[in-house]
Chains A and B, each alone.
Chain A
Amino acid sequence: MAIDSAKVVSAVSGLRLVGNEDGLYLTRHYADYYNRISFAFLHHMERADPGGFAKARKALIETGHLCGFNTFGGIMLSQEWEAVVAPMIETREDWVRGMVAVVNALGWGRWETKSLRPAEELNVTCANSYESEGYLRDYPQRPDGGVCFLATGGVSAIMNLLYHGDITTRPQRTEDYYQKIFAAGDNRFEGREIACRASGAPRCEWVARPVQRWS
């Protein structure tokens, strides 16, 4: 059985997201709020330092790594994943496709897997990423440079979790594990946004491949 994306989206959308009794956190983080503080930070850094854009981008993509590690990693080790996605999984690549399907229930825009080469490269596109949507609403189109930082980190997180850290063995999501799969080795995956609507492209597009293969 291959991953049935529509079935995954329908099932995940029907799950009631719950926080603790003190209130909801993380599960209901408003996209607009995140966008606005991210892009205010980005622009502040650009004004303050000639290399500010690169520094801000690095920090915001790192945030995407952390989000991907905790959110995607947590999802892949959850009972909800076991209930909905795991029965459709036959290969490691199905984990990737399953995770992309779950993302499409999170309100991040509609992700599509353009191509997946096992352990080598993941290419994902999106016609309505919430980051580019939010950017274009509040700011003019940029001459260059993508702004979908969280998604960039998220795409590399999927590959790192599956092909560098092997989350299929159900490891504990510790700081050491994070460092192992995101900060160590030439085989770790790095994501880049190769097209962004905020810079005039029709779709946003991210590619994750091992660090050594980018050079």
Chain B
Amino acid sequence: MVLSYPVATSRDCFGGEVLIEVTLPRGIERADLERVRGAASLEVLDGFPRPFFRIDVPGRFLLTGLLLTTSVRVTVRQVHRDRAFEVAQEAARELMGEA
């Protein structure tokens, strides 16, 4: 089991959220998206030249990325900003089926 995935970038957002870009060990498949827990909405915009997805988990994070790529952006909600890194890692592990 992977303990932590590499973080490409991390920055504070206007409004108190923290955006963390996590590098995953493999490309994201559509089936991976279903594994994220607590999603209030899951959108896959596959009419775009590169399919874009967005998963909103209220109270935790907003997860966005492109299918088949290895990079995902986790916008950790303000309430978790003190443990933003851990929340981003949890999101990545759920996506990769390692949670």
Q: Which residues of A contact B (CB under 8 A)?
A: 11, 14-16, 18-22, 25-26, 79-80, 82-84, 86-88, 172
Contacts and interface: CB of A to CB of B under 8 A. Distances in A.
Contacts of B59: 21
Interface string B28-55: 0000000000000001010111111010
Given A26-B14, A79-B65, A82-B66, A18 B56 contact: yes
A16 B43 contact: yes
Given A14-B45, A22-B78, A80 B52 contact: yes
B64 interface: yes
Nearest to B15: A20
B58 interface: yes
A87 to B, nearest CB: 4
B62 interface: yes
Given A14-B45, A25-B15, A86 B50 contact: yes
10 contacts: A18-B62, A20-B13, A20-B78, A21-B59, A21-B77, A21-B78, A22-B78, A79-B64, A83-B45, A83-B48
B26 interface: no
Contact of A21 (B11, B45, B58, B73): B58
B11 A172 contact: yes
Contacts of B75: 20
A88 B66 contact: no
Give the 9 A-B residue pairs with the shortest CB-CB distance, closest first.
Answer: A87-B49, A83-B52, A83-B48, A83-B50, A20-B15, A84-B48, A79-B64, A83-B66, A11-B48
